[in-house]
Amino acid sequence: MIRFLAISFLSIFGLASCSLKTTEGLRQVHFNKTEVENPYFSNSEIDYVYKAKIEVYGKNFGGILILKKIGPENHRIVFTTEFGSKLFDFQFEGDTFTKHFVVEDLDKKFIVNILKDDFKLLVAESAKVIAVYESKNQRIYKTQADERFNFYFLDDKSEKLTRVVNTSKTKEKVEIDFISSEGKIADTIAIKHNNIKLTIDLEKFKKE
């Protein structure tokens, strides 16, 4: 009996320790929504232009991040220095990724892959919901992304998307936080990696 208790206790502890923080203590609920949407880069009329600050392993650099929806499920993303020289130029069309240009110093497979995954997650407009969780004032929509999962945090009252978390089965990998005053354009975006020391902070260009 004691042995049984010990095993079940250990297994509970073991299970708890490898479960995701993202959904810890949250109640799974029935869902009425089959798709969850990210509205922040979905208007093809808008040039989305952000000042970017990047910190990677304690080194800082900056630039201008330009995003544009150029067709259905088709986004162009260009990063330039403040002087306007292109550092990279990517296109995401459905599942097809095109590398139009990458400056020599950044053109390494692991860097391009990180950037590709981050920006794919950032601009993806909708995904099929596989589970829904409820917290005090938010609903969290779980979606499948290849071998991984994405969790979309929507505010109960405003219905604004405030956060997207990309996870493996057991660990949070990338977190994106959005602040939006009106819900359709993100004023600031913070992309944070948990397994590498990389953060990308974006601030929308102010209107003149």
Partner 1 sequence: MRNYFLLLFFIIVGSSIQAQETAMSASEITAFKEKVIASAKTTKTIKTDFVQYKHLDFLADDVKTSGKMVFKAPNLVKWEYTNPYKYSVIFKEDQLLINDGGTKSKVDIGNSKLFKKLNQLIVNSVKGNMFNDADFTVSFFKSSKYNKAVFIPKDKKIAVYIASFELLFNKDDAQVYEVKMVEPSQDFTRIIFSNRVLNNTVDDSIFSN
Query: How near is the Cβ of 51 to partner 1 at its closest, in Å?
Result: 5
* β partners of residue 154: 139, 161
Q: Which is nearer to partner 1, 35 or 107 (CB)?
A: 107
Per the CB < 8 A criterion, the answer to whether 76 and 88 are in contact is: no
Q: Which is nearer to partner 1, 88 or 151 (CB)?
A: 88
- Find, among 143, 121, 139, the residue nearest to 131 by Cα: 143
Per the CB < 8 A criterion, the answer to whether 63 and 81 are in contact is: yes
Among 36, 78, 123, 154, indicate the residue that binds partner 1 (CB under 8 A): 78
What residue ranges in 27-160 does DSSP mark as E strands? 27-29, 35-37, 48-56, 59-71, 74-80, 86-93, 96-102, 126-134, 138-145, 148-155
Among 21, 99, 100, 184, indicate the residue that binds partner 1 (CB under 8 A): 100
51 lines the binding site for partner 1 (CB under 8 A): yes
Among 32, 85, 96, 137, indicate the residue that binds partner 1 (CB under 8 A): 85
Among 23, 38, 41, 68, indicate the residue that binds partner 1 (CB under 8 A): 68
Which tokens in the block code for residue 17? 């320790």
Of 15-23, 140-148, 170-178, 198-206, the window that binds partner 1 (rule: CB under 8 A) is: 198-206
